[in-house]
Amino acid sequence: MKPTTVIGFLGSTLDAAKFGPSRWNKWRPTVSICMQEDLRVDRFVLIHGSYHRRLAEFVMQDIRDVSPETEVVPHVMDFEDAWDFEEVYGKLLDFAREFEFDPDTQDYLIHITTGTHVAQICLFLLTEARYLPGKLLQTQPHRGAPQPIGTWASIDLDLSRYDSIASRFAEASAESTSFLKSGIETRNAAFNRLIEEIEQVAVLSRAPILLMGPTGAGKSQLARKVYELKKLRHQVEGPFVEVNCATLKGDSAMSALFGHKKGAFTGAVQDRPGLLKSADKGLLFLDEIGELGLDEQAMILRAIEEGRFLPVGADSEAKSEFQLIAGTNRNLMEEVAAGNFREDLFARLNLWTFALPGLAERREDIEPNLDYELERFAEREGTRVTFNKEARDRYLAFAESQSARWQGNFRDLAASVTRMATLCPTGRIDREAVDFETGRLGRLWSGDKAESESLADLLGKERAQAIDPFDQVQLEYVVKVCRRSASLSDAGRTLFAASREQRTSTNDSDRLRKYLAKFKLDWGAVTQ
């Protein structure tokens, strides 16, 4: 066993006793620690004030008498006000930083029975934060007849060691992740892991979060659920403020975001606080942040880092403390390279970046989301609508197939359910309604520019004519598949469906990227 060091305060009341044999009939917590048969104390660091030096010497001598093997090390720590939290915590923190801990060769017990309540709380916090690398030690007297020894118990703040507590945390975590998914029992393993990580970050950090993904992938809904989760945990007090940056254009963008003073420009007839100020002590969601101009980006960066910004026409700065979640369907690294997005702002946002997959990449989640959308329709319209079995199977067969492109992701699914439910006044969606809807979706997805643009539109007439006819046919097909796919990897899986089964390892994305590069193309150029 490793040697044990106890660190604790001298109890000016509990450890005090009159001189004489009668003191051994009284429970004194500091002395009793060294009288325990099942606890060997090799060193005792006794913290006390100058005013109690005599009591400390008296207690130290009693420890030597009952436990000669214990080295008692007095440590003088004076407080102007022992009930001032800031002073007590600061001096204990200095003590912890200066103390030569060696947890590899020694065990440490932090005694929290003596000292003021403020001192006990500070010892707890410093132990929890691992400034004091040990376990908490609690002592108490025997109930009934007075006995000097009493009892002791150690508390390990690594809560994962306690089965019942660990299970409670697991349940709470499961509830949180289910909360972020709106209670939808999603089946996609990668998405479920993503949500678990977002839940951890949302609860433990106030740093900005960047949500990337295609339009309709659920960024706005997830941002609101993160806010609601933090609200339940009492981590935010203010409101949830959502801003679609794509709607902020020209001079009005500065005013909308940062506010303005009366008379700052023509039409500014009164002060306007701005959206950043409205989000004070809450959560600000800047959707499509890549649409902001460079000037607005610079002010956003300062507001994130310092909590301050200058309203339009103002002489003094405004303050707002908010947590930021940013959303974008653009590749911000490419935008930085192109000079359209500030590198310093991207670096600040990129601490916690999560890429939300589109619905086409989560086809196994279509069924639970179908049920969710039916529930939403019932809540919204006050009418419950269901499928008959044949119609449900037929719709899912189409929705989960590769021919279903889900260009608008969950927005397409929500709109599809709404149309079928609305057009079935009997409350039962049948096969005919499903066939009508899937035909509508097919026509919707085939009518976009992906089907109408030629290679000449993509490459330019001269470059297109320089490609052999054989390669033209192949490239046209590749472009068509890319534009119907949700991602580079999704397109790669479709294009290399046969050969990938014969490989021990596959990297469809890389194969497709290299193929496009032969024609000086990339994913962004093909799908924009």
| pLDDT tens readout for residues 378-397 | 888 888 899 999 999 999 99
What is the per-residue pLDDT for 309?
92
Q: What is the CATH number of domain 360-447?
A: 1.10.8
Q: How confident is the model at residue 36 (pLDDT cuts 50, 70, 90)?
A: very high
Q: What are phi and psi of 47, to 5 degrees?
A: -90, 130
Q: How confident is the model at residue 412 (pLDDT cuts 50, 70, 90)?
A: very high
What is the per-residue pLDDT for 481?
83
Domain at 4-161, CATH from 3.40.1580, 3.20.14, 3.30.1370, 3.40.50: 3.40.50
Which residues, in sequence order, are bridge partners of residue 376? none
Q: What are phi and psi of 500, to 5 degrees?
A: -65, -25
Does pLDDT of 359 surpass 60? yes
Q: How confident is the model at residue 332 (pLDDT cuts 50, 70, 90)?
A: very high
What is the tens place of the pLDDT at every residue in 112-130? 999 999 999 999 999 887 8
Element (H, E) at 355: strand 352-355
Strands (E), 16-85: 43-48, 71-76
What is the per-residue pLDDT for 263?
74
What is the per-residue pLDDT for 449?
42
Mean pLDDT along residues 1-6: 92
* Greater pLDDT, 497 or 364: 364
Mean pLDDT along residues 289-315: 91
Does pLDDT of 452 surpass 70? no
What is the per-residue pLDDT for 166?
56
Cβ–Cβ under 8 Å, residues 358 and 214: yes
Q: How far apart are the first and last CA of the chain?
A: 66
Q: Is the dihedral of CA 106, 111, 112, 115 positive or negative?
A: negative
Does pLDDT of 177 surpass 80? no
What is the per-residue pLDDT for 390?
93
What is the per-residue pLDDT for 435?
92
What is the per-residue pLDDT for 451?
40
Cβ–Cβ under 8 Å, residues 209 and 325: yes
d(CA 92, CA 392): 65
Q: How confident is the model at residue 523 (pLDDT cuts 50, 70, 90)?
A: confident
Cβ–Cβ under 8 Å, residues 51 and 167: no
Q: For domain 170-355, which architecture applies? A: 3-Layer(aba) Sandwich (3.40)
- pLDDT over 90, % of the chain: 54
Q: How confident is the model at residue 194 (pLDDT cuts 50, 70, 90)?
A: very high
Does pLDDT of 159 surpass 60? no
Does pLDDT of 457 surpass 90? no
d(CA 324, CA 286): 7
What is the per-residue pLDDT for 35?
93
Mean per-residue pLDDT over the chain, rounded: 87
What is the per-residue pLDDT for 43?
96
What is the tens place of the pLDDT at every residue in 54-101? 999 999 999 999 999 999 999 999 999 999 999 999 999 999 999 999
Does pLDDT of 448 surpass 90? no
Cβ–Cβ under 8 Å, residues 184 and 372: yes
Mean pLDDT along residues 3-17: 93
Domains 170-355 and 360-447 share a fold: no
Could you tell me which of 109, 132, 329, 323 has the C-alpha nearest to residue 233? 323
Does pLDDT of 450 surpass 50? no
What is the per-residue pLDDT for 165?
59
Mean pLDDT along residues 281-287: 95
Tokens of 166: 């660990």
- In one-letter notation, the amino acid at residue 148 is P
**Domain ranges across the chain:** 4-161, 170-355, 360-447, 467-527
